Structure 1
Amino acid sequence: MDSHHDPFDGDEEAALRYAIALSLQDPNVPTSSSTVQNPIVLDDSGSEDGDLEDGPKCPPTPKKPTQLVNKNVRAPATSHSLPVSQTATSGIQPSGFSALGLDRKKMEEERLVRLNKRKAPHDDEVNERHPQRIKIDSQPEHNPLATMTGTSVHTESSSLPYPKGVVKKTWAYGYPRKDDIKIEEILQKDQLELAVLSSFQWDDEWLLSKIDIKKTKMVCIAFASSDNQKEEMRANVPRFCFPPMMPAGSMHSKLQLLKFPKYLRLVIPTGNLVPYDWGETGVMENMVFLIDLPIAKDSANRLNAFGQELCYFLKESGLEKGLIDSLLKPGRLYDAEPDVSINMFLCTQYDFSETNQYRFIHTIGQSHVGEAWQRTGYCGLGRAVKSLGLATTSEVELDFVVASLGSVNTDLTSAIYNATQGDNGLREYQKRTTSGGKKKGAQKPELSYHPDNFRIYFPSHETSGGTICLQSKWWDSPAFPRELVHDCKSVRPGLLMHTKILFVRHQYHDKSQTSWAYIGSANLSESAWGRLVKDRASGQPKLNCRNWECGVLIPMESEASKSGWETFEKRVPIPMIVPGEAYGKTNSKRPWLFLES
């Protein structure tokens, strides 16, 4: 076949969905009825990567089972998606939640009856809840993150499962349990009151087996291809929020805001809401950050940097103010006072002080001008690094584990590297725009880093089973930084990695500086991190971002006695074998090339 033929219109996430479908179909592994033998239909009449004329990308809705005739066109899918792709069907299909026949009106009536009967719990009732939660959370080894800043003020953080924040691997079927967590242990369905969920892929039948829809209010942040589809989806049991989309891009963020009686749980996973991303097929692993925020006892708190960026992300995504207020105000579901700001709820109802040590990192899928471009994408990453006092002028060591690679070039890798040093994006932008504005991808420019200091972990053909994707048209491009690519093998042998994690170290230069990690939804692509360009109207910088992404920046404990990978051992599990074979530099192997392997 033509190695330069691109049926995905340059969309690495669409290619990833297809690769997952190819590799994870296993008739010997039990799955829900919505995950068996459903083909993904692809449109092969697309344009090159970065074409903003194309429509937004979303997981397609499976059709009836068909035989795999041409691997360029059809493949068995492993998940049933809530949204309907524009290329998958010409009509509006009922979403999976409505197909299950759930009666929203009846459930709401039942919930109101329960709410009227609900009384404030006595101390003995609260104590009875704790053993159940402790039993759930004590199955994996529990090692909460050490406090790096001041403790919470006037809260009952000692009763929370994860008051300081923790990073864990996802559980995987057939593997020993160690520093891992199951989706059930996160959601705790018996106690969950409200869940705001965002995901790139959905298996609705599987998800509803993890959440008691009769007890728990659900808000899904998802993609819809038209206004008609939005109205159809809004009629279902979960409430929906539809972020504004660029002409091309993906609603790729993975975020869970979970409201329990005594605290708000913030969850940032690297996996989607499908069973294989949470280890239930025993072939895939992800990672997850979670922290429990207690109800604040002191309303004089001010919303910190983490809370401000979370609030900004939620507002920009289009989440209705009433829904955010209901999430953030304990004891009430919806119907919050309209004259009270979201920021007021955040700072007066839940104590965010334990997030002072972190930063919420996001990409908002829009064009950003004025001061807004500095808050999101790689510009926002650099701003967050600087705000935590982590900026440096010395060289840093980068190790970036990704689940897919798109049309990467050295403009992007330079911008990411600069951001990890605390740059807001202007260093690479000014260098690029003052050098004559050469055409993107024409040739490799002068690097802002030494190639030995930047490693991209991506599986070779011999390592991958097909869940990770890269096309030869990108890999073979003269602009692709192949010399940075190392083989990616999990420390849990046999597991495929869907993790997105960036490690930043000072191994060879300044051991006294603090290392840190990013965990989230963003792969290494321009769609995920944006591109800073000159606005034609104003002549000022403008950041174009296609995708919606989110993650968290986690500093390590600053210990002069430790260097290199040792600095991460207490806070962030290292999922891959390091340093990995540098097959891109030596040309000893080819990567897993999607559609060609």
Structure 2
Amino acid sequence: MDDADLFDGDDDAALRYAIELSLQEAGQSIELPSSKDATATGSIVISSDDEDDDLDRGPRFPSTTPKTQTPGAQSSELKQPAIGPVQTPSGLASLDRKRMEEERLARLGKRKVPNSAESSPAPSQKVKVHHQTTAGQSGSAIPSQGFHPPAAKSSLQYPRGAVKKTWAYGYPRNGDDIKIEEVLRRDELQLAVLSSYQWDEEWLLSKVDVRKTKLLLVAFADNELKKQQIAANAPSSNVRFCFPPMLPYGAMHSKLQLLKYSNSLRIVVPSGNLMPYDWGETGVMENILFLIDLPYITDPKLRSENTLTPFGHDLSCFLEAQGLDQGLVKSLKNYDFSETGRYAFVHSIGQPVNDDRWSKTVKPMADVTSGCCGLGTAVSNLSLGTTTDIEIDYAASSLGALKEDFLRAIYYAAQGDSGMRRHKERAAIAARRLAAPAASSDIKTRFRIYFPSYDTVASSRGGTQSAGTICVQRDWWEAPTFPRGMIRECKSVRPGLLMHSKVMLVRAGDSTPAWAYVGSANISESAWGRLTVDKKTGQKKMTCRNWECGVLVSGTKPSLTARYEKPDLASAFAGIIPVPMKESVDGYGADQDRKPWYYREA
């Protein structure tokens, strides 16, 4: 069997496999997706005594019998992690959790929590736990609209939603960033559903008090034995796991967080994993996130009559597909989603999805809502679709084996197409009934992809040792079909920081508002999928290898002046998101001296 057969033609899956091999050769313990198919584990049991308010009460899980372990030597202090991704171990089965938690609780008993936020630790210092319970409402947020049932809103920090960059050690705070402590609000947190592609367990447990907070971790495991090992290593009965079904060489790449408090639910959609460097604690890398606080509906009658917005509906579909208990999914209706009406939850389900829908607990929809089809549907539903040319600036931390066909599908989706336009073009071109798209609408002049050069990585604060999660392969880059002319240099507006952010910024030349995608999806077919249509039945099928999720955030209609003057990125998206990268005209196509950062050649 050759390599093409092994990966079923999926170049992004081949990249993950190559990275895994290189890490094994280097003796590292980072766990990446393998070729074995992962299936759903036993269902998580949720309490449902008299009401279905499961998020309000928190889950009650089946008991597990821990396996006997040999305690390993553990440090008595929480050490600062290595500054870069390459040196940081990951994998939920890698630590002696029980002993680790006992030592952590002992340390907590000796510490005195300060009344005010401490100054940020230097990278060489030990990480301190901050208990900052207030955060400013500054940053990018959209004005309020819609009806709100009676609910406790006075304590909500982000009732209308906001986009924030992650805080980074050593950089001034300008109101557009946020710390992991400010996201989690440890002292008030009752239940957390956390997702990640990579994990630093000891660091995570320093941010959450598992004595009083229930954790449901959505993670990857490639076989039943590993699932059992991970579950048995849980440091507390309050920690349980959900393992979404996987395709071969797929990735559980979503970073979604659902954070439950006494009177509210916080939804967080980051681009970063649960690793200290992704949250700025080593001062070498940044990410971006969307968050919104939803109030609990206190009136029982209004709660029973509440219906979800399209945002809530798509979130429910995503959670259900991952294998979360239906009781937990249904309990989302106990929260007021009305402020999410201006947003769209865009997701990729790591399984083939047909247009006859698989949903059991939420209302079926006619269109496929996974991957780039879901992106196009979301754009259309928010009245952001257009038939005019658009401008796309997409910053990503990983590039697949890109081809124009895939990029054109993304471009059409950003115009509001739900997938069929590019499919029909392919069919017509294959039948020689249609020429390639005209040069006047060529995406090569309107679609810019931001990825850092070797020089940018080498001159960053962390250097080449901090770029282990920024990936592209030389073989793909040098392929004749790779769109090198569309790639631009990627530099953060905070000098010296590397970007792990995934951001798509879209502008139209007409009165359509500018909008942005913020989430976990890099620009690859594994992340956004491919649509196929059965020739006999006409049934549509979207296949994504990865689990991804993000949020579509829009602004207001541009003025006539803005339409004709074409302001820079930061100005065009002011009030929508804090644009993390510098707008760049520095490409790679004609500059033979500029080369991209090749992960495997570091």
TM-score by length of 2: 0.75
Instruction: Give the counterpart of 1:482 among 484, 492, 498.
Output: 484
User: Could you say which residue in structure 1 is the equivalent of 2:169?
Assistant: 173
Cα distance, 1:583 vs structure 2: 2.2
User: Could you say which residue in structure 2 is the equivalent of 1:573?
Assistant: 578
User: Could you say which residue in structure 2 is the equivalent of 1:305?
Assistant: 310
1:395 and 2:389 matched: yes
Letter in 2 for 1:82: G
Contact 2:513–2:554, Cα closer than 8 Å, also in 1: yes
Contact 1:16–1:469, Cα closer than 8 Å, also in 2: no
* Whole-Å separation in 2 of the counterparts to 1:521 and 1:224: 19
Instruction: Give the counterpart of 1:452 among 436, 445, 456.
Output: 445
1:472 and 2:477 matched: no
SS in 2 for 1:548: strand
SS in 2 for 1:354: helix
> How has the CA–CA distance of structure 1 residues 254 and 16 changed in structure 2, closer, same or farther, with 3 Å as cutoff?
farther
**Mapping 1:118-267, distance limit 5 Å:** 136-138=133-135, 142-143=138-139, 145-147=141-143, 149-178=145-174, 179-235=176-232, 236=234, 237=236, 238-267=239-268
Letter in 1 for 2:415: Q
> How has the CA–CA distance of structure 1 residues 282 and 394 changed in structure 2, closer, same or farther, with 3 Å as cutoff?
same
Cα distance, 1:491 vs structure 2: 0.6
Contact 2:13–2:526, Cα closer than 8 Å, also in 1: no
> How has the CA–CA distance of structure 1 residues 432 and 491 changed in structure 2, closer, same or farther, with 3 Å as cutoff?
same
Aligned residues: 490
Alpha carbon RMSD of aligned pairs, Å? Answer: 3.4
User: Could you say which residue in structure 1 is the equivalent of 2:532?
Assistant: 533
**Mapping 1:411-426, distance limit 5 Å:** 411-426=405-420
Instruction: Give the counterpart of 1:463 among 456, 467, 488.
Output: 456
User: Could you say which residue in structure 1 is the equivalent of 2:288?
Assistant: 287
Task: Select between 297-306 and 375-384 the one with higher mean Cα deviation.
Answer: 297-306
SS in 1 for 2:148: coil
Task: Select between 226-235 and 167-176 the one with higher mean Cα deviation.
Answer: 226-235
Letter in 2 for 1:291: I
SS in 1 for 2:345: strand
Gap regions ≥5 residues in structure 2: 39-71, 73-83, 106-114, 116-129, 358-366, 459-463
* Whole-Å separation in 1 of the counterparts to 2:396 and 2:177: 20
User: Could you say which residue in structure 1 is the equivalent of 2:36?
Assistant: 55
Contact 2:453–2:595, Cα closer than 8 Å, also in 1: yes
SS in 2 for 1:463: helix
Instruction: Give the counterpart of 1:382 among 376, 385, 391.
Output: 376
Cα distance, 1:544 vs structure 2: 1.3
The superposition leaves residues 476-529 of structure 1 with CA deviations (integer Å, 9 ceiling, x where unpaired) of: 1111111110000011000000000000012xx21x211100000000000000
* Whole-Å separation in 2 of the counterparts to 1:270 and 1:53: 22
TM-score by length of 1: 0.75
> How has the CA–CA distance of structure 1 residues 97 and 553 changed in structure 2, closer, same or farther, with 3 Å as cutoff?
farther
SS in 2 for 1:474: helix
Letter in 2 for 1:527: S
Contact 1:194–1:258, Cα closer than 8 Å, also in 2: yes
> How has the CA–CA distance of structure 1 residues 79 and 18 changed in structure 2, closer, same or farther, with 3 Å as cutoff?
farther
User: Could you say which residue in structure 2 is the equivalent of 1:115?
Assistant: none
Letter in 1 for 2:519: G
User: Could you say which residue in structure 2 is the equivalent of 1:112?
Assistant: none
The superposition leaves residues 337-367 of structure 1 with CA deviations (integer Å, 9 ceiling, x where unpaired) of: xxxxx1xx322x1000000000000000111
1:350 and 2:312 matched: no
* Whole-Å separation in 2 of the counterparts to 1:284 and 1:80: 17
Cα distance, 1:99 vs structure 2: 5.2
User: Could you say which residue in structure 2 is the equivalent of 1:123?
Assistant: none
User: Could you say which residue in structure 2 is the equivalent of 1:584?
Assistant: 589
SS in 2 for 1:137: coil
Letter in 2 for 1:594: Y
Contact 1:170–1:181, Cα closer than 8 Å, also in 2: yes
Letter in 2 for 1:574: V
Letter in 2 for 1:164: R
* Whole-Å separation in 2 of the counterparts to 1:367 and 1:305: 21
> How has the CA–CA distance of structure 1 residues 217 and 40 changed in structure 2, closer, same or farther, with 3 Å as cutoff?
closer
> How has the CA–CA distance of structure 1 residues 303 and 97 changed in structure 2, closer, same or farther, with 3 Å as cutoff?
farther
Cα distance, 1:232 vs structure 2: 2.6
SS in 2 for 1:159: coil
The superposition leaves residues 28-87 of structure 1 with CA deviations (integer Å, 9 ceiling, x where unpaired) of: xxxxxxxxx9624899xxxxxxxx994369xxxxxx9xxxxxxxxxx994333235xxxx
Instruction: Give the counterpart of 2:88 among 79, 89, 92.
Output: 79
> How has the CA–CA distance of structure 1 residues 155 and 42 changed in structure 2, closer, same or farther, with 3 Å as cutoff?
closer
Letter in 1 for 2:348: T
Instruction: Give the counterpart of 1:594 among 589, 593, 599.
Output: 599
* Whole-Å separation in 1 of the counterparts to 2:592 and 2:495: 24
Contact 1:360–1:553, Cα closer than 8 Å, also in 2: yes
Contact 1:556–1:567, Cα closer than 8 Å, also in 2: no
* Whole-Å separation in 1 of the counterparts to 2:31 and 2:332: 43
- Aligned-residue sequence identity (percent) comes to 45
User: Could you say which residue in structure 2 is the equivalent of 1:369?
Assistant: 354
Letter in 2 for 1:162: Y
Gap regions ≥5 residues in structure 1: 23-36, 44-51, 58-63, 65-74, 84-93, 108-127, 326-341
Cα distance, 1:146 vs structure 2: 3.1
Contact 1:19–1:469, Cα closer than 8 Å, also in 2: no
* Whole-Å separation in 2 of the counterparts to 1:77 and 1:402: 18
* Whole-Å separation in 2 of the counterparts to 1:155 and 1:76: 42
Cα distance, 1:590 vs structure 2: 1.7
* Whole-Å separation in 2 of the counterparts to 1:494 and 1:18: 30
SS in 2 for 1:240: strand
> How has the CA–CA distance of structure 1 residues 388 and 578 changed in structure 2, closer, same or farther, with 3 Å as cutoff?
same
